[in-house]
Amino acid sequence: MREQQNRALKFWEKNWHSAVPLKIKRLACEPERFIWAVSMAQSRCSNLQMRIGALVQDANMFIPYAGELLLH
């Protein structure tokens, strides 16, 4: 987990410099917020295969309330 946090922090430091457009900076003004967002995305993503007629397709889903669903 710490390795993932360090990777996210290095990414933030590399890409959130002063020349980055303001609309991107607003997404994560400080590194703690960025690390939180990355951890939320990593812990609430799920992959599955769906069948639509004869077609089998991989699907990626982001389920923001996954943690709350598991608690109930």
The pTM for the full model equals 0.60
Spatial separation of the C-alpha atoms in residues 65 and 26, rounded to whole Å: 23
Q: Which of the two residues, 3 and 26, has the higher pLDDT score?
A: 3
CA angle 71, 33, 42 (to 5 degrees): 50
3-state secondary structure the chain: CHHHHHHHHHHHHHHCCCCCCHHHHCCCCCHHHHHHHHHHHHHCEEEEEEEECCEEEEEEEECCCHHHHHHC
**pLDDT at position 69:** 55
pLDDT tens by residue, 8-59: 989 988 888 778 777 777 878 888 988 888 888 888 888 888 888 899 999 8
**pLDDT at position 44:** 84
